[in-house]
Amino acid sequence: PLVLHVLGARPNFVKAAPVVRALGELGVRQGIIHTGQHYDALMSDVFFADLGLPEPIANLGVGSGSHAKQTAALLVGLEEVVQEHEPDLVVVYGDVNSTLAAILVCAKLGVPTAHVEAGLRSYDRGMPEEVNRVVTDALADLLFATSPEALAYLASEGVPAAKVHLVGNPMIDSLFAALPSLDPAPVVERLGLPARYAVATLHRPANVDTAEAAKELVEAVLEVSRKVPVVVPIHPRGKARLAEAGLVDGETVKVVDPLGYVDFLSLVRGAALVVTDSGGVQEETTMLGVPCLTVRPNTERPITITHGTNRLVTPALLPAAADKALADGAVTPAGELPVLWDGKAGPRIAKVISAWLEGDNLAP
């Protein structure tokens, strides 16, 4: 049997690495299809190197575009490559457009699919990712959930419980694997930061796609930077608009290119505070015990609030929340971390997949 992994964007690489490794250890034949949704070296190549991911067997070179144009190109490219390779299972990750396109293509071709990171919900259909999550979970044959609340969400949408496996969080597997290599000192020195600093990552369309949203956000980040210097590894999506809104290199703000995985997590590990609108960073700060302020009205990862260091804030509330977080440090309300975020999600997923492959589920 052959398993194909469809990957396209930065967070996909981080989630797939432990699954690919664990399937490899079980001797499963597999290959990576890179859609090319992310293509800059700092958004893609660096993750293959840092995470030890094998070279893709195909790169579709889909690139950027409006949702319709990007998704259309993904559908056309993926249909061809899936038909060419005739996989027995296609594994998709997270909630990006590459994930959505792969699940649609496979559903129409009758190719079975597995969704890693199933059942996350923000209940905000204004987020493109929420649309992708709902469609992906409706069509997947195997659903791998990272946290218990996903089981109830999926049940409420009519997904049969037999399809769903609570396995923990492969993104945290990657974090655990990287832990011994995480050293803030060299990155802090290279970027010319003081010992006490904050890290900010901002790329959600609602925050960076309009001049008004960008301005409100940048003003809040600049105010935080008057209390603690802020380094911003900038996602290409918001680069121009955030700069226009005033997020530029200064005495207290440092805007840098996106960082590689090990450099970024090293920086986060040494930070006094993280400000973000990323999905994955909410989880990583929870595990590293770094206070995290998420500038969004909601989160599909509420467990990082109930069992972690995450807080939701509006731009207006960000400066005061930053003061409090800097004074209090990391607070984990439940006193315990999310269950099964133990670095073993990849092997759990691989075990389910290999049992499934050995069952009577193979494509005719």
Q: Which of 164, 281, 287, 340 binds ligand UDP (CB under 6 A)?
A: 281
Separation between Cα atoms, residue 216 and residue 299, nearest integer Å:
20
Q: Which of 5, 121, 165, 203 binds ligand UD1 (CB under 6 A)?
A: 203
From ligand UDP, ligand UD1, none, interface partner of 294 (C-beta below 5 to 8 A by class): none
Range in contact with ligand UDP (rule: CB under 6 A) among 17-25, 246-254, 275-283, 356-364? 275-283
Which 196-225 positions form the footprint of ligand UDP (CB under 6 A)?
A: 201
Catalytic, out of 34, 203, 235, 307: 203
Closest CA to 199 of 232, 239, 222: 232
Complete DSSP assignment for 247-285: ----SSEEEEPPPPHHHHHHHHHT-SEEEE--SHHHHHH
Complete DSSP assignment for 200-250: EE---HHHHSSHHHHHHHHHHHHHHHTTS-EEEE--GGGHHHHHHTT----
Which residue, 121 or 203, is less far from ligand UD1 as judged by CB?
203
Q: Does 259 bind ligand UDP (CB under 6 A)?
A: yes
- The pair of structure tokens assigned to 141 is 């044959």
Q: Does 97 bind ligand UD1 (CB under 6 A)?
A: yes
From ligand UD1, ligand UDP, none, interface partner of 128 (C-beta below 5 to 8 A by class): ligand UD1
CB atoms within 10 A of CB 203: 19
Separation between Cα atoms, residue 359 and residue 42, nearest integer Å:
40
DSSP letter at 121 equals -
Asked if 67 is an active-site residue, the reply is no
Q: How would you class 7 by CB atoms within 10 Å of its CB: exposed for 0-12, middle for 13-18, buried for 19 or more?
A: buried
Q: Does 10 bind ligand UD1 (CB under 6 A)?
A: yes
Residue 343-362 contact track with ligand UDP, rule CB under 6 A, x = bound: --------------------
Helices 170-178 and 10-25: angle between axes, nearest 10 degrees: 80
Q: Which of 5, 21, 38, 269 binds ligand UD1 (CB under 6 A)?
A: 38
Q: Which of 163, 237, 324, 351 binds ligand UD1 (CB under 6 A)?
A: 237
Q: What are 275's strand-pairing partners? A: 200, 293
Number of residues that bind ligand UDP (CB under 6 A): 15
Q: Does 64 bind ligand UD1 (CB under 6 A)?
A: yes
- The pair of structure tokens assigned to 39 is 């293509």
Which 282-321 positions form the footprint of ligand UD1 (CB under 6 A)?
A: none
What residues line the site for ligand UD1 (CB under 6 A)? Answer: 9-11, 37-40, 43, 64, 70, 95-97, 128-129, 203, 235-237
Q: Hey, which residues are catalytic here? A: 203
Which residues make up the interface to ligand UDP (CB under 6 A)? 10-11, 14, 201, 233, 258-259, 261, 264-265, 278-281, 284
